[in-house]
Each structure stands twice: as C-alpha cells, then as structure tokens.
Structure 1
C-alpha cells in the first residue's frame, strides 16, 4: 500500500514515459526546458548515455 501512495505523489511530468529518467533532473542538469528534456528522453528511451550526449549537442 505504501508503494501506491508514493507513486501517486510523483508528478506525471517529472518522470519520463519509460519511468527510467527524471525529466526535471535531466532538464536542470543540461540547462534545458522541460519540453526539450522530455523530447530527448523520449527519443533515446532508457539509454541515459545517449540522452546525455544528445543534450550536450543540443546547445552546440
């Protein structure tokens, strides 16, 4: 029951659709908007290294 309570407290926009990457953390880490961060995470799925590399290229 505690898991259900915890999950209901998580904002839907802060966790990626795959549940593998916190969008707010990713956006802050790379200086991106939430929209851009979510777009990159969706494009690269659960591959965090690829998402990080894409975010680094995003500004250049």
Structure 2
C-alpha cells in the first residue's frame, strides 16, 4: 500500500499536509499554506520531485 497525503487545517486560515507511510508512520509534515489551492500544489510538487530527488549530505563531519 502506498503512503497517504492528509490535508489538515492549521489554525483558522491555514492548511498543511502530512505524508504518512502505509504503516501510519509520519514521514513528512509541510509548512503552512494560506489556501487549499496552495496546499494541493505543495502535494503535487512533492509527488513530482521526491522520486527523482538527489540525496545531499549537508553534515559537516570534519568540524569539531
């Protein structure tokens, strides 16, 4: 079973989405959006970019 995008209200005038895995684990939580149209666009952007995105390790392992 695939993950699920859940659209949530976040305050009185904002929305966010949450991506959950098939087992119910929360994988990602979005920032707040000011319209339903914007939150749907955010979901579509994640769908389009996640599968082809590069993993970039930004830890500074040499410091310290």
Normalised-by-shorter TM-score class: 0.3 to 0.5
Higher helix share: 1
What is the TM-score normalised by the length of structure 2?
0.31
Greater Cα radius of gyration, structure 1 or 2? 2
TM-score (norm 1): 0.32
